[in-house]
Homo-oligomer: A and B are copies of this chain.
């Protein structure tokens, strides 16, 4: 009477569900296109912040980003400004906030919107993500069944990654 875990289901999905995993310049281009598509401007500041964010493979705090962008520009950029732009990125799906790390990470496939599941290593801090729409849809369904609307799932898993284990 209790469903088995969905391991087999998500393997099938991972195989079935292909989308572009951008990196480097390709990613920046995709990000720019997405922002413009959303009616927003792709400014130097936004470009720099996205570039810095994209270099991280672990979630980056707004302050980390502020420091690096400051270096890059030879002029102090206040956390404030970074937050503004990160918020924009999050709302336009160019970046994600990792709640359990108070930090942000670039979305490697902007334009393609779905909930994703982050895996964050407690040792090395690196984050990967997996896309399992069946699973995230189930979480949404459960929340909606409980009377929630305008649902935004936050699904993160802390643990030890394969390298650190």
Chain A interface (Cβ < 8 Å from any Cβ of B): 1-7, 9-13, 16, 99-100, 102, 117, 119, 121-122, 128, 130, 132-135, 137-143, 145-162, 165
Chain B min CB distance to A7 (Å): 5
Q: Find out whether the CB atom of B142 lies under 8 angstroms from the CB atom of A161.
A: no
Chain B min CB distance to A9 (Å): 4
Q: Find out whether the CB atom of A143 lies under 8 angstroms from the CB atom of B155.
A: no
Q: Complex: how many Å from CA A147 to CA B165?
A: 9
Q: Find out whether the CB atom of A16 lies under 8 angstroms from the CB atom of B3.
A: no
Query: Do A3 and B159 form a contact, CB below 8 Å, given A117-B139, A154-B99?
Result: no
Query: Do A148 and B162 form a contact, CB below 8 Å, given A100-B154, A141-B6, A143-B119?
Result: yes
